Amino acid sequence: MQKINIKDVIKGSIAEELGIQKGDKLISLNGREVIDIIDYRYEMANEFVQVEIEKISGERYVFEIEKDYNEDIGLVFEEEIIDKPKRCRNKCIFCFIDQLPKGVRKSLLFKDDDYRLSFLQGNFITLTNINEEEIDRIIKYRLSPIYVSIHTTDGDLRVRMMRNPNARNIMENLKKLVSNGIEVHGQIVLCPEINDGAELDKTIKDLSDLYPGVKSVAVVPVGLTDHRHNLYPLRPFTIDEAREVVEQVSSWQEKLKAELGTSFVFLSDEFYVMGKLPIPDYDHYEDFPQIENGVGLMALFKHQFEEAFERKKRLMRRNNESYLIVTGLAAYDFMRGISQKLKSIGFDIEVVPIVNKFFGKNITVAGLVVGKDIIEQLKGKAKGKTLVIPRVMLKEGSDIFLDDVKVREVEDALGAEVIVSEVDGRDFLQKIYRGR
């Protein structure tokens, strides 16, 4: 049996009361080997667990524990999934990681394709790096929902796009999962003249036939940096092509709403921005099943902001701050519209779009704006002002941009204060009127 190193023990937990310590090793639960966090959680759901521990001294103890159903005993492991995440073995023609500039931190270069992280964190997986035993494990442990990068349901085309022969059997894998009660949310990275047009129609039709097992599908445009050296020749969508995609998907939404009671397939906000089209209303996105994929983010933000603004505008008073709202090119017009309401009651506020020189001019989303570009483009323009940036610009749980520049470095370089707002209209409004 493998020995799993215990990184820490939660204070006040059952494990601490039993004398289990950092550096001890977990050997088994209920007499069974623990492969990963899925096994651990499955066994830990019981009201009685038998825990075998190897102490730092090498001595082994078996603890028999009575506890509440689903109560954890308080062990913390090195990795969230206990073992190392599975690395992606595809060579997708549109892979964003293959297009990253030199010098980015190593963690950004790791491509995971792990079904456990799909269940735990909502990461998209391809089902190309998974075997029958692992699919059976998803079903056995009811790892639902999971998130799958589909791109096309044509097996031959999917093999060409992902350059992996295992990509062909996508429909068989999806059918097995949904027929066994696993809910799937799908993603299509759309590439001009490759999986769009008639291919997109076929993909939407095939996937909608699997509803409600396949619960929703997001269509997002291929992201292209300026660092596509010796990679497959791809290009961005033109304005007219983006509008054609919006019209095509809108037709499917109308049809599927009538047949299934849901629009089922949704476009990321980028398609509307690229086509210079208005963002759909809040109700268009139903229960926002793919919000993490940038689908409906603007509509939700606007809804949150306007609701909070109407409640608080009579109580709000202009403060002495001068605000610069920092965003990407894609959200510039949108954030200007939001900020107009604040200007109308006297706030000194300006929206500044940052051109993405780090990744390239085709990358316009706020989440990929980096600290170096903010410093270079706002030098001499921000002194004494308050910058408001969205948290998506920063590495999760940190104050570090994707280029490893820290928020404090931006403040020092510009002589300005930086406020970090959640991507939430209510939090944005609160940050502005409270000045922090």
Predicted confidence (pLDDT) per residue in 226-277, tens digit? 999 899 999 999 999 999 999 999 999 999 999 999 999 999 999 999 999 9
Asked whether the beta carbons of 265 and 204 are under 8 A apart, the reply is: yes
d(CA 183, CA 386): 44
Q: Which two tokens stand for residue 284?
A: 């268009």
Q: How far is CA 161 from CA 117, 155, 167, in A?
A: 23, 10, 9
Predicted confidence at residue 108, as pLDDT, reads: 73
User: Which residues are CB-neighbours of 233 under 8 A, at least 6 positions away?
Assistant: none
Predicted confidence at residue 82, as pLDDT, reads: 80
**Running along the chain, 436 residues long, what does each successive block of 10 average in pLDDT?**
90 94 94 90 92 94 92 89 86 93 73 90 93 94 96 98 96 97 98 98 98 98 93 96 98 98 98 96 96 95 95 76 95 95 91 96 94 96 95 92 95 96 95 80
Q: Give the global pTM.
A: 0.89
Dump the DSSP string for 131-156: -HHHHHHHHHTT--SEEEE-S-S-HH
E strand or H helix that includes residue 172? helix 170-179
Predicted confidence at residue 86, as pLDDT, reads: 87
Query: Angle 231-233-236 (CA atoms, 0-180°, nearest 5)?
Result: 115
d(CA 146, CA 117): 9
Q: How far is CA 375 from CA 110, 126, 371, in A?
A: 27, 37, 6
The side-by-side arrangement of strands in the sheet containing 214-221 is 124-125, 146-149, 184-190, 214-221, 265-267
Strands 75-77 and 25-29, by their bridges, are unpaired
Predicted confidence at residue 80, as pLDDT, reads: 76
Which has the closest alpha carbon to 248: 313, 305, 199? 199
Residue 422 is which amino acid?
E
Query: How many C-beta atoms surround the C-beta of residue 47 within 10 A?
Result: 11
Predicted confidence at residue 290, as pLDDT, reads: 95
d(CA 307, CA 426): 8
Per the DSSP assignment, residues forming a β-bridge with 351 are 325
